[in-house]
Amino acid sequence: MPELIKLRWTPIATEGLPRRDRQGCEYEAYVPDRLMDRTIRLDGASAADVADAERAVSRLEARAHSLADSEAIARLLLRAEVVASSKIEGLAIGGRRLLKAQLVRVLGHRATDVTAQEILNNIEAMAAALEDQEPGRAITLERLLDTHARLLQATRLEDHAGRLREEQNWIGGSSYNPCSAEFVPPPHGRVPALMTDLCEFCNQDGLPPLVQAALAHAQFETIHPFIDGNGRVGRALVQLVLRRRGLTVNVTPPISLALATFSRDYVRGLTATRHHEPAGSPSAQEGLDGWIALFATATSRAVADAEAYEQTVAEIKSHWRGRLGRIRRDSAAALLLDALPGAPIMSVPSAATLIGRSEQAVNAALPRLVKAQILNQTTLGRRNRAFEAPEMIDAFTDLERRLASPEGDTQHSPPTRAVPQRRPKRSRAHSPAG
């Protein structure tokens, strides 16, 4: 049964703070049931939602595996998932700005866009975690600590990177004390044992993968084991569980994009899992079923929009090939076409590395792609040449916009959160729906 631990908050540094933030208070920290001690049951409706969602993920995985450019699509969907996870935490920038910052990092130049760098840290942390997570391989605390370390590298909180918290944290209310907090996670002394239990749960095979991922995410967010970055690491854990169970191997379903669209339901769903009665009680069961159903619905929605996006990418590439005319399958131009969905902004050196050809071969192919209006030349910084595929960037923007709409169409169902604006239609040779 969960615990509510009554504690006393005594402020240490109070100079310059408002009166309400200078005072101490009593507060209650919530300690959840350990997952390994629980018997998990689902009602019929939730179980059906989970089965539908898992079939959708399997379909997306199989489809991606058959694509010639599956690696580029995989990079693109991973980027979409991480961008959405970052947006839930208040880190939001346009796709073009993020892609330029990513190229700056690839080229080894000094980063100046702080927000973009935080999101890029998130992308690299997720990519590294998933690359190391083979089906059947155990999810360890060390893996999660490494993901957190990558996330906070070169930020103001770098000193806390890769370390479980050693102080009380809380959600909502004042920034200086937990007196008016909406939720207070377990005291830091309980965190190591709870994280050990969570990892053990993540390495079991008795539950459907999607149920396991949803419960692992909810428990992680309840434990809130880090000073910062809990939401982003917790959503990365979802993908790690799906990867360990073999439900996903080639793609990363952008589940966070769908959850961000229903952000209020997302928070309410997580809160409902923090029951105060025995795990088998009706209220606890109702909270679990509601959260699982929401998570399954978000997953199905994410897959549907990812499939539509993959179709849009295929249509754009078909238009490109029509404009280029006949090209050799192994030519630098053909390889660049396949690489552009995952890297819509590139320099000559980054393109050469990406397709495994010389810079001379890339330089020879680029003018042909520019002439066909597939690429535009732009600048990176003051002197560096770069090339961007505006139609692919627009398609990524449309994916964000579509997933931000409850009904999947921003023209008829307004976005529930801030989304990037479309570019004027006259500047686009191809206009995907969204």
Phi, then psi, of 228 in degrees rounded to 5: -150, 160
Q: Of 276, 306, 336, which residue constitutes the final position of a domain?
A: 306
pLDDT at 257 over 80: no
The residue among 363 and 430 whose pLDDT is bigger is 363
What is the percent of the chain with per-residue pLDDT over 70, rounded to a whole number?
A: 83
- Residue 261 in this model has a pLDDT that exceeds 90: no
For 358-412, how does the pLDDT look when each residue is reduced to its tens digit (9 = 90+)? 999 999 999 999 999 999 998 776 667 889 999 988 887 777 776 666 555 555 4
* 5 inside domain: no
DSSP3 helix / strand / coil % (the chain, rounded to 5): 55, 5, 35
Beta-carbon contacts of 19 under 8 Å, excluding residues fewer than 6 positions away, are none
Same domain, yes or no, for 105 and 193? yes
The yes-or-no verdict on residue 68 having pLDDT over 60 is no
Do 132 and 49 lie in a common domain? yes
Handedness of CA 79, 85, 87, 89 (dihedral sign): negative
CA 143 to chain centre: 17
Verify that 287 and 363 share a domain, yes or no.
no
Evaluate if residue 143 carries a pLDDT over 60: yes
- Contact status, residue 236 vs residue 125, Cβ threshold 8 Å: yes
Q: Are residues 246 and 162 in the same domain?
A: yes
Strands 345-346 and 376-380: unpaired
pLDDT score at 428? 42
Question: For residue 295, what pLDDT band results from cuts at 50, 70 and 90?
Answer: very high
Q: Give the whole-number percent of the chain exceeding pLDDT 90.
A: 49
Cα distances (angstroms) measured from residue 410 to each of 173, 210, 397: 33, 28, 12
User: Looking at residue 160, what is its pLDDT?
Assistant: 93
Count of structural domains, the chain: 2
Residue 373 and residue 238 share a domain:
no
CATH code for the domain of 421: 1.10.10.10
Query: Does some domain include residue 183?
Result: no
CATH of the domain at 285: 1.10.3290.10
Please report whether residue 99 resides in a domain: yes
Give the SS3 label for residue 234: helix
Domain contains 121 = yes
Tell me how far apart the alpha carbons of residues 94 and 197 are, in angstroms, rounded to a whole number: 38
One domain, residues 248 and 333: no
Q: What is the mean pLDDT of residues 417-426?
A: 54
Residue 429 is predicted with a pLDDT of 43
> Does a structural domain hold residue 33?
no
Residue 107 belongs to domain spanning: 40-174+188-306
Q: What is the mean pLDDT of residues 405-434?
A: 51
CB 106 within 8 A of CB 350: yes
27 found inside a domain: no
Q: How far is CA 382 from CA 117, 345, 379, 385, in A?
A: 19, 16, 7, 9
For residue 203, is it within any domain?
yes
Higher model confidence: residue 32 or residue 108? 32
289 and 252, same domain (yes or no): yes
Is the domain of 216 the same as that of 329?
no
- Mean pLDDT, rounded, for 197-212: 97
Mean pLDDT estimate for the chain: 85
pLDDT of residue 116: 76
- Lowest model confidence (mean pLDDT) among 32-41, 74-83, 284-293: 74-83
Kind and range of the H or E run holding 27: strand 25-31
Shared domain for 287 and 336, answered yes or no, is no
202 and 118 co-located in one domain: yes
Identify whether residues 300 and 388 lie together within a single domain: no
Residues 67 and 198 both lie in one domain: yes
Buried b (16+ CB within 10 A) or exposed e, 139-160: beeebbbbbbbbbbbebeeeeb
Flag whether pLDDT at 164 surpasses 80.
Answer: yes
Band (431; pLDDT cuts 50, 70, 90): very low
Mean pLDDT of 47-54: 96
pLDDT category, 139, cuts 50, 70, 90? Answer: very high
Specify the pTM.
Answer: 0.83
Query: Could you tell me if residue 19 is inside a domain?
Result: no
Write down which residue in 306, 340, 372 finishes a domain.
Answer: 306
pLDDT tens per residue across span 305-355: 888 888 888 899 999 999 998 888 889 999 999 889 888 888 898 899 989
Q: What pLDDT is attached to residue 417? A: 53
Q: Is the dihedral of CA 309, 405, 266, 145 positive or negative?
A: positive
The Cα 82–Cα 119 span in angstroms is: 7
414 φ, ψ to 5°?
A: -55, 145
